[in-house]
Amino acid sequence: MDPQPSDRPDSDLLQKDIEFRFTNDGSIATYFNATLSVIETIDIPFEVWSLEDNVKINAVIYMAAGSKPIYEEDAENPSHYKFIKNFFVMPVYEDYTGVGMADYYTNTNIGWMFQFNKNETLFQPGDVYNIYFRNPLSPGNDVYHIETTANVYTVTDSILEEIVVVPNPYNATSVYEHIAFIREVQFMGLPEECLIRIFNTAGELVQVIKHDVTVQVTEALVLKPGIYVHIIIRKYRLGYMSSTLLQMKRIHRKTSGDKMNKNIIIAIISFNCFMFAQFDNTGTSAANFLKIGVGSRAMALGGAYTASVTDASALHWNPAGIAHATDIQILLTQYNWIADMKHSYFGLVIPVGTIGNIGISLNNLDMGEMKKTTEFDQDSKVVFRASDVALGLGFGRKISDRFTVGIHGKIIQESISFSSATAFGFDMGSQYQTGFSGLIIGMAITNFGTKLQLKGTDLKIDTDPYADQEANPDVIAQLQTEEWALPMAFRAGFAITPVGPNAIMKNDALEATVSIDYYDPRDYNPYYAGGVEVKVMGGLYLRAGLESKFIQFSDDEDDSIDSDDLPYMLDKDNAHGYTSKTAFGFGLSSAMFPFIPYNFSVDYSVSDMGVLGLVNRLTFSIGL
């Protein structure tokens, strides 16, 4: 109980029941900080009533010790501050006055201290919360009964837009922690019932969390440092209606009512939610942008490109593919990725005679500017940037007229605000042309290398290394973060041309190629990808592809969860499900334009990322 007057409130006063009535006008309370030094007032959105006396009473608002909120004055009343749900509320059992109390530290009419759950639904005028006390001074027998008479209201888009995740980004000097060095990232203002889906920057689903006001279980999600995309699915009369959190960066794009945002997380996430789906090894690798597919042709085939790749994007898929180049090859693509991120890739292949071919690659994911948020400043005007980049050098060589090998080394950097991490990675692969109906077999190991560890000024702290000794000045130190591995993966596949001039089914008018890949990443479940490419008119390519992923599901024996709760197809009896992504595209090559002296191609693809939306890619490739 706080404050601590010399004469504490008697037990009869402490058993008086309280009612919080949320109104448009609210009321004025006394505000003081941890130093108890300044008497100020604060606007609160509710009135406090003593139920036994049926009178409106005063209230004291107290800032949590150790916290340093960014004060925000009310525009209509500059002498008052705005209420934040993190603050503590103490009823004062005396008639409401609407002015600051001069005796807030010695007043013996101050009751219990309360704090609203900052992760719960936003309050609305008309909400009423009652607190009934029974035996409050009997240790082990205290019973607190809380109920609300508020009507259930519709969660509108405007309310969803006020949902934020704090802090964003997390850094070592954050001062709002209730326990030092506990890394917590929390949702603020969630609807009563919703699903939270967490995706990495590659668009992979890494966690599904069910949030319900009746379930108060805190789960710790251990995810690697980096950027994550969060989507909120709210409960709706006809099912689930998707809408995303607007946290780090406000996204105004709408697709079927969806909004999207991204979050920077360099910590353990702690949610006041019930985590009902978790996937083995997910979220355990850094530099997830390395898994974003490169090139419109490859993505139109669902990513099944290990065996058939021969252009400059081979440095991403299978370095052995660059050995097929007979002239200088340049490939360039840039497009809008999920959550308003921009992905770009540049590839260059240069033949060096009989030695082989060398290649240069530049892979970049730019997250743009995002707002910094804290528990006390959720609409900050301060921004920060985050980006991922990889610069690589590769070599490919023909061992024979049918067998090629390649290797690709790269330096990788992830940057978040004023912190960054650097690592070195390698890719290696091979391709074998069987000579049977265009059948090619390819294999590759990608993203094998050192680990990433964040370092930078965001992790610096002032500390006393000899705290047990007096009069020692603080020194600047830096927190050491964990190391995280690259998203290493093994891929193998084949491509065959069953229809064409030299195929099993001879046809001089068209050519059809089928590609299938098996992909086994260290941080996700294995999956398959397949695609079909049809060549007509000598230089027009029509493509379609499919990526099918297996997702392990666990519901912690919660029978209230049914298949409609999940954002993917679910076989509940077998506790697993599949999710598929489709893609389509087309391409034009220089064969359609014989008057142009260079070999070139223009390729387009569109990939369905489910709730993350459609991704359109345009890729240019030219041979000099």
Instruction: With residue 13 as reference, give the H or E element that holds it.
Output: helix 11-14
Average pLDDT over residues 435-456: 93
**Tokens describing residue 495:** 């491509």
- Answer for the pair 354, 323: CB distance below 8 angstroms, yes or no: no
Cβ-Cβ contacts under 8 Å for 487 (sequence gap 6 or more): 202, 285, 286, 287, 288, 290, 291, 447, 521, 522, 523
Average pLDDT over residues 542-552: 82
Average pLDDT over residues 203-219: 61
Half-sphere exposure at residue 563, Cβ-oriented, CA atoms within 13 angstroms: 11
pLDDT of residue 246: 24
Q: What is the pLDDT of residues 113-149, one digit of tens each?
A: 887 766 555 677 888 888 887 655 555 555 555 555 5
pLDDT of residue 560: 39
Q: What is the dihedral of CA 200, 201, 204, 210, to 10 degrees?
A: 40
| Residue written as token pair 């030695």 | 355
- pLDDT at residue 463 tops 50: yes
Q: What is the pLDDT of residues 51-100, one digit of tens each?
A: 888 999 999 887 754 444 444 555 565 555 667 766 788 899 999 998 88
Half-sphere exposure at residue 455, Cβ-oriented, CA atoms within 13 angstroms: 9
- pLDDT at residue 14 tops 50: yes
509, burial (CB in 10 Å: exposed 0-12, middle 13-18, buried 19+): exposed
- Assign 222 a pLDDT band (cuts: 50, 70, 90): low
- pLDDT at residue 166 tops 70: yes
Q: Per mean pLDDT, which of 219-223, 284-288, 459-463, 518-522 is the most reliable? A: 518-522
- pLDDT at residue 615 tops 50: yes
Longest C-alpha distance within the chain, in Å? 100
Tell me: cis bond preceding 498? Omega within 30 of 0 counts: no
**Residues 440, 284: Cα–Cα separation, whole Å:** 33
**Residues 508, 499: Cα–Cα separation, whole Å:** 9
- pLDDT at residue 613 tops 70: yes
**Tokens describing residue 534:** 């049809």
Q: What is the pLDDT of residues 360-396, one digit of tens each?
A: 999 999 988 888 877 666 667 788 888 999 999 999 9
Q: Average pLDDT over the chain, rounded to whole?
A: 76
- pLDDT at residue 226 tops 50: yes
pLDDT of residue 581: 84
Write the DSSP string, 239-294. EEEEEE---SS-----BTTB---EEEE-SEEEEESEEEEE-TTTT-BS-GGGGS--
| Residue written as token pair 């608002």 | 61
Query: What is the 3-state secondary structure of 23-64?
Result: EEEEEEEEEECCCCCCCEEEEEEEEEEECCCCEEEEEEEECC
Phi, psi angle pair for 510, to nearest 5°:
-145, 165
Phi, psi angle pair for 561, to nearest 5°:
-90, 125
Name the residue type at position 218.
Answer: T
**Residues 490, 499: Cα–Cα separation, whole Å:** 29
pLDDT of residue 475: 77
Of 305, 287, 286, 300, give the one whose Cα is nearest residue 444.
305
Counts for the chain of helices (H) and strands (E), in that order: 4, 38
- What is the helix, strand, coil percentage profile of the chain, to 5? 10, 50, 40
- Answer for the pair 323, 343: CB distance below 8 angstroms, yes or no: no
| Residue written as token pair 């749900």 | 85
- pLDDT at residue 242 tops 60: no
- pLDDT at residue 19 tops 60: yes
Q: Which of 29-38, 304-313, 369-378 has the lowest mean pLDDT?
A: 29-38
| Residue written as token pair 């960066």 | 249
SS3 189: coil
**Tokens describing residue 274:** 């019930």
| Residue written as token pair 């087309």 | 586
Cβ-Cβ contacts under 8 Å for 597 (sequence gap 6 or more): none
Share of residues in the chain with pLDDT > 70 (%):
67
Average pLDDT over residues 192-206: 79
Q: What is the pLDDT of residues 386-437, one digit of tens each?
A: 899 999 999 999 999 999 999 999 999 999 888 889 999 999 999 999 999 9
- pLDDT at residue 237 tops 70: no
Reported pTM: 0.74
pLDDT of residue 434: 94
Average pLDDT over residues 562-585: 53
SS3 300: helix
Q: What is the dihedral of CA 399, 401, 402, 407, to 10 degrees?
A: 30
Distances (CA, A) of 482 to 224, 284, 455, 486, 551: 9, 11, 10, 13, 27
